[in-house]
């Protein structure tokens, strides 16, 4: 290990001396841009208002304040409801709507914005606390407020806080009375999914956090790399001696882990296999009565809050009180780190941060009114947006990328002159070297999913998904023995020719159409991923980057055919692996303690975790070992056995011997590549745990590697790595373009003799390559406008739903002699329908989709075939039982 560490240091030292021009400027801790909205109609301002957004309107209700002179007046509670809407025709761009009121004066409750309205919970007035829950909705047509009562809280609650995940509202903390001695350790949930059936709505008591009871706490929601979680922070509580405790602790509740059947609310005991609560790193200081909101995909911004300074000196200081801190604390849920920023324009507490819109990056965060120092409120309403800082690309990096792209175009032009017929265009004339075909299989199966999505997955979670890639290695001999002989035997241009020979033409066309749709979706995913990297360091947007990647791939792939694709794949594999190794070395160099520090920190955070030993009744919804292995085998068998893009590589070499070698080349390459890319993701976790201020909250989780490339790599090296990102994407995109065109022409045109002459087929192949590539670009543009937390998960979902049934058809044909065309059709249709139901109506983990699709197709297809006439003549030489011409269908 020490030798390896020294090699890393020597390599990085040489690299630094040779080309170091890194961005050594300090990362600014300034996170927000603020603008002021029209002030609250009540010039005194109010604290403890219910606040939220509904139908594009800001709703503020109730609240309390002190009339002037504040130190000689009693607190007053209010029942006014103020609504602020956008009004482009006015000078300020906004308009206040007044004249609405609550049934009673009310303040200091909890509130949450929902699609149905702003849900207001608890609160108090001058006499008592309440458990009432109601919803305020804005009707933009009549410009009126509508109120709807909801089930009351399990008990009175004031000075608590709430947050929402999906349709579920979570309430935590608060007191039942005016004194802190009545602070609660309460955690309640209300599911609004059945809001149209009020009798079915009820509050559920959940296990509370492991810390002390509290009030004036913060409750927020954010994704933790695995799922959306609830975070409870800070607050204050009374000690046994009656003194006030200023709390800084933080707790995370994971709804995915929680099993409601294992919790007894009467005894407050939970017997589930995993604790849904997890203690996280404490705040730098107390932020009681502050407010927080999730930003981006993994940050929580905590605004203001009282830290306990000058506590008990209010009456002595009065107007000389300096006010509450103007700090922003930024928490990153994945690395469990805090960063401090002095960037609040005002210091309001006892208010709520609400988002005016649904976009967690681009829509503004509103902080309305609130208390700025004891007894003094502010009428100010602030609107803030996270700062998005883009580092411009240098000419050296740009030159590197341009040279690389020029090489690709040259390859396409070179091989375009070698395409004399459709066999040259679709199969490379079967003159591709076996090692080039093997590297092309590797690039095709992994590509930018490897380069960006796997490091992102390892950064967010651990190494549990590592076994998915290893399943490809395990399956290699299985594919060589049971699948490869059939493709070589029939000399297939399209993999789906086998299905027509074994079953009938409809089965062939069904599988081919499924493949085409799947590849268009895959193209979209792998074009979107590198667009993240390119958009991070160039003036181009993600949409413009997708267009650039798509157009370039269209040009060289349309011109050069399969031979151009496989050779560029081989080149791109070396660029991909080299770029990853460069990056890993530089990441290690930026970690405190080097390689040893990397291992120590990653191990302490359990980032090398490989196996989840879970065989419980709900483990099918988790990444338990059996789920990962069984799902991984299905996911990897799909491309090996039924993916036209991979089968093309089997057929691009001159013999069965070389086809076997190409499969083994891919398998051998997968092992070090997987270790490298999971290692990059883990190294990124350690790097950003050491340097949390350098994580851009506006970046998506899948862009963590592009973020490092853009902000941390030296000039010149960044261009090389971005070229690797291009390589990763284009290897798959070009493959998909060519293979979809091959499938369309070979399966849908040639069998029906719709064209005459090889030149006509060659011309149509180029046209369809361009057409399908264009469709992939359009779909990628749609992805760029969506909030997809993990493109790896997205890809696995697409692969499982589209690929499982295709693979099932090949398994049905190869491993059984009794299955026939009619049964295969039924198996495919019902298998696809069944898989859709599994995906839509169950919690089965997405990794299992591929395996379930295979099993459903095989079982249903075989069972259906038992009720149909036997067709032994169609099995000769087309199953493992009759490969040598012997018909043994009756034995199976």
pLDDT digits (tens, 9 = 90+) for 667-685: 999 999 999 999 999 999 9
Among 420, 525, 523, 540, residue whose Cα is nearest residue 771: 523
Q: How many CA atoms lie within 13 A of 700 on its CB side?
A: 26
Burial (CB count <10 Å: 0-12, 13-18, 19+), residue 242 = exposed
Burial (CB < 10 A; 0-12, 13-18, 19+), residue 657, is exposed
Please check the confidence at residue 242 and state whether its pLDDT lies above 90: no
Give CA–CA dist 358/340, Å, rounded. Answer: 26
For residue 37, pLDDT over 60 is answered with yes
d(CA 171, CA 6): 52
Return the percentage of the chain with pLDDT > 90, whole number. Answer: 53
- Please determine, for residue 174, whether its predicted confidence score (pLDDT) is greater than 80: yes
- Compute CA distances 286 → 212, 220, 246, 629, whole Å: 14, 16, 6, 45
| Nearest Cα residue to 332 out of 112, 536, 31 | 31
Has residue 876 got a pLDDT over 70?
yes
Using CA of residue 457, residue 461, residue 467, residue 470, what is the dihedral sign?
A: positive
Q: Is the pLDDT of residue 735 over 70?
A: yes
Strands of the sheet with 381-386, listed across from one edge: 32-37, 381-386, 365-368, 354-355
Phi, then psi, of 375 in degrees rounded to 5 = 75, -10
**Residue with token string 């010039």:** 43
Specify the range with the lowest mean pLDDT, choosing from 136-145, 198-207, 528-537, 604-613: 528-537
Lowest mean pLDDT among 263-267, 355-359, 724-728: 724-728
Q: By mean pLDDT, which of 101-115, 367-381, 595-609, 783-797 is the weakest?
A: 783-797
What is residue 550's predicted lDDT score, i.e. its pLDDT? 85
Say which range, 411-420, 563-572, 594-603, has the weakest mean pLDDT.
411-420
- The SS3 call for residue 864 is helix
**In the chain, where does the domain assigned CATH 2.120.10.80 lie?**
32-386
pLDDT of 736? 83
pLDDT reported for residue 726:
72
CB count in 10 Å sphere of residue 34 = 15
Q: Which of 240, 368, 209, 232 shows the shortest CA–CA distance to 288?
A: 232
Instruction: State the average pLDDT over residues 746-765.
Output: 84
Higher pLDDT, 740 or 562: 740
pLDDT given at position 101: 97
Q: What percent of the chain has pLDDT over 70?
A: 89
Whether pLDDT at 81 is above 90: yes
Provide the β-strand partners of residue 146: 137
Q: Mean pLDDT of all residues in the chain?
A: 87
In whole angstroms, give the CA distance from residue 317 to residue 656.
89
Residue 164 β-bridge partners: 169
Residue 4 confidence (pLDDT): 39
From the list 73, 74, 109, the residue with the least C-alpha distance to 350 is: 109
Most confident of 393-402, 426-435, 535-544, 652-661: 652-661
Q: Which of 21-25, 187-191, 737-741 has the lowest mean pLDDT?
A: 21-25
Note the pLDDT of residue 6: 46
pLDDT, residue 756, reads 77
Position 16 scores a pLDDT of: 45
Q: DSSP code of 693?
A: G
Q: How confident is the model at residue 5 (pLDDT cuts 50, 70, 90)?
A: very low
Task: Tell me, letter by letter, the H, E, C secondary structure of 714-779.
Answer: CCCHHHHHHHHHHHHHHHHHHHHHHHHHHHHHHHHHHHHCCCCCHHHHHHHHHHHHHHHHHHHHHH
**390-867 classified as CATH 1.20.1730.10:** yes
**Residue range(s) in the chain whose domain bears CATH number 1.20.1730.10:** 390-867
Of the candidate ranges 91-95, 410-414, 460-464, 759-763, the one whose mean pLDDT is the lowest: 410-414
Q: pLDDT by residue (tens digit) across 552-584?
A: 778 777 776 777 778 877 887 888 888 889 889
The answer to whether residue 872 scores a pLDDT higher than 70 is no
Which of residues 887 and 610 earns the better pLDDT score? Answer: 610
**Domain with residues 32-386, CATH architecture:** 6 Propeller (2.120)
Do 527 and 521 meet the contact criterion of CB atoms below 8 Å apart?
A: no
* Mean pLDDT, rounded, for 150-170: 97
For residue 69, cis peptide bond before it (omega within 30 degrees of 0): yes
* Per-residue pLDDT at 728: 66
Q: Name the more confident of 756 and 699.
A: 699
Q: Indicate the pLDDT class of residue 392, thresholds 50, 70 and 90.
A: low
**Residue 10 to residue 8: CA distance in whole angstroms:** 6
CA 211 and chain centroid, separation = 30
pLDDT at 863: 96
Q: What is the DSSP letter of 97?
A: E
**pLDDT of 734:** 77
Dist CA 133 CA 839 (whole Å): 35
On whether the CB atoms of residues 135 and 116 are closer than 8 A, the answer is yes
Residue 21 has pLDDT above 70, yes or no: no
Packing angle between helix 644-651 and helix 625-642, nearest 10 degrees?
50
Contacts of 532 (CB under 8 A, 6+ apart): 452, 542, 699, 700, 702, 703, 706
- Dump pLDDT digits (tens) for 115-157: 999 999 999 999 999 999 999 999 999 999 999 999 999 999 9
Q: Are 111 and 50 contacting, i.e. CB atoms less than 8 angstroms apart? A: yes
Alpha-carbon distance 742 to 516, whole Å? 10
- Confidence class for position 809, pLDDT limits 50, 70, 90: very high
Q: CA-to-CA distance for 355 and 161, rounded, in angstroms?
A: 16
**334 within 8 A of 685, measured Cβ to Cβ:** yes
- What is the pLDDT at residue 133? 98
pLDDT value at 13 more than 50: no
């Amino acid at each position: 290990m020490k030798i390896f560490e020294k090699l890393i240091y020597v390599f990085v030292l040489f690299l630094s001396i040779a080309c170091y021009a890194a961005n050594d400027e300090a990362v600014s801790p300034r996170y927000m841009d603020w603008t002021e909205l029209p002030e609250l109609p009540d010039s005194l301002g109010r604290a403890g208002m219910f606040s939220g957004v509904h139908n594009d309107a800001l709703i503020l209700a109730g609240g309390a304040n002190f009339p002037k002179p504040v130190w000689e007046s009693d607190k007053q509670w209010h029942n006014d409801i103020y609504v602020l809407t956008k009004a482009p025709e006015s000078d300020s761009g906004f308009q206040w709507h007044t004249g609405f009121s609550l049934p009673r004066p009310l303040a200091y409750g909890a509130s949450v914005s929902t699609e149905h309205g702003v849900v207001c919970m608890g609160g108090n007035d001058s006499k008592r606390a309440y458990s009432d829950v109601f919803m305020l909705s804005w009707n933009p047509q009549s410009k009126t407020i509508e109120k709807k009562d909801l089930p009351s809280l399990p008990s009175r609650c004031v000075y608590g806080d709430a947050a929402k995940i999906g349709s579920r509202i979570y309430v935590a903390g608060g007191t039942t009375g005016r004194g802190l001695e009545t602070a609660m350790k309460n955690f309640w949930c209300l599911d609004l999914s059945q809001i149209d059936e009020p009798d079915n709505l009820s509050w559920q008591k959940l296990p509370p956090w492991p810390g002390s009871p509290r009030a004036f706490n913060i409750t927020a929601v954010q994704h933790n790399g695995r799922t959306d979680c609830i975070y409870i922070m800070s607050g204050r509580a009374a000690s046994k001696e009656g003194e006030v405790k200023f709390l800084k602790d933080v707790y995370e509740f994971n709804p995915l882990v929680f099993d409601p059947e294992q919790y007894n609310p009467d005894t407050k005991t939970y017997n589930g296999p995993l604790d849904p609560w997890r203690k996280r790193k404490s705040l730098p200081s107390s932020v009681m009565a502050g407010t927080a909101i999730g930003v981006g995909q993994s940050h929580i911004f905590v605004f203001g809050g009282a830290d306990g300074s000058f506590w008990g000196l209010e009456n002595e200081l009065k107007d000389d009180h300096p006010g509450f801190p103007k700090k922003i604390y930024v928490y990153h849920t994945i690395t469990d780190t805090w960063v401090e920023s002095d960037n609040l324009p005002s210091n309001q507490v006892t208010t709520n941060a609400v988002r005016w819109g649904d976009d967690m990056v681009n829509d503004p965060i509103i902080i309305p009114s609130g208390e700025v120092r004891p007894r003094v409120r502010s009428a100010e309403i602030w609107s803030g947006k996270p700062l998005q800082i883009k580092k411009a690309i240098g000419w050296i990096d740009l030159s590197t990328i341009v040279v690389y792209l020029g090489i690709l175009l040259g390859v396409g032009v070179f091989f375009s002159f070698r395409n004399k017929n459709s066999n040259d265009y679709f199969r490379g004339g079967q003159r591709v070297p076996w090692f080039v075909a093997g590297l092309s299989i590797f690039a095709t199966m992994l590509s930018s999913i490897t380069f960006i999505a796997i490091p992102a997955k390892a950064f967010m979670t651990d190494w549990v998904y590592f076994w998915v890639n290893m399943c490809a290695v395990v399956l290699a001999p299985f594919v060589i023995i049971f699948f490869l002989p059939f493709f070589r035997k029939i000399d297939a241009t399209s993999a789906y020719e086998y299905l027509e020979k074994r079953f009938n033409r409809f089965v062939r066309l069904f599988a081919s159409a499924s493949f085409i749709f799947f590849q268009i979706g895959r193209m979209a995913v792998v074009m979107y991923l590198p667009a993240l990297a390119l958009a991070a360091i160039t003036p181009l947007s993600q949409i413009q980057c997708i267009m650039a990647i798509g157009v370039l791939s269209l040009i060289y792939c349309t011109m050069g055919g399969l031979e151009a694709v496989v050779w560029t794949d081989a080149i791109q594999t070396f660029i991909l692996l080299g770029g990853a190794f460069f990056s890993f070395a530089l990441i290690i160099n930026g970690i405190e303690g080097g390689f040893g520090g990397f291992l120590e920190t990653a191990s302490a955070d359990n980032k090398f975790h490989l196996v989840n030993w879970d065989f419980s009744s709900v483990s099918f919804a988790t990444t338990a070992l059996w789920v990962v292995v069984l799902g991984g085998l299905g996911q990897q068998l799909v491309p090996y056995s039924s993916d036209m893009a991979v089968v093309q590589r089997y057929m691009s070499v001159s013999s069965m011997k070389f086809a076997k070698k190409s499969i083994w080349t891919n398998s051998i390459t997968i092992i070090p590549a997987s270790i490298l890319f999971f290692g990059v993701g883990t190294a990124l976790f350690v790097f950003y745990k050491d340097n949390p201020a350098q994580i851009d909250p506006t970046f998506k989780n899948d862009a963590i590697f592009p973020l490092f490339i853009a902000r941390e790599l030296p000039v010149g090296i960044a261009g090389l790595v971005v070229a690797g990102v291009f390589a990763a994407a284009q290897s798959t995109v070009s493959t998909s373009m060519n293979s979809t065109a091959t499938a369309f022409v070979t399966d849908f045109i040639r069998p029906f003799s719709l064209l005459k002459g090889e030149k006509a087929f060659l011309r149509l192949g180029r046209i369809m390559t361009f057409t399908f590539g264009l469709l992939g670009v359009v779909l990628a543009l749609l992805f760029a406008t969506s909030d997809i937390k993990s493109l790896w998960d997205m890809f696995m979902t697409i692969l499982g739903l589209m690929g499982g049934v295709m693979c099932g058809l090949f398994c049905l044909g190869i491993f059984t002699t009794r299955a026939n065309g009619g049964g295969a059709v039924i198996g495919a249709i019902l298998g696809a329908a069944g898989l859709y139901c599994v995906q839509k109506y169950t919690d089965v983990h997405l990794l299992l989709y591929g395996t379930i699709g295979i099993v459903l197709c095989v079982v249903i297809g075989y069972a259906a075939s038992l009720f149909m006439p036997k067709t032994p003549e169609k099995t000769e030489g087309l199953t493992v039982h009759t490969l040598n011409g012997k018909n043994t269908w009756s034995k199976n």
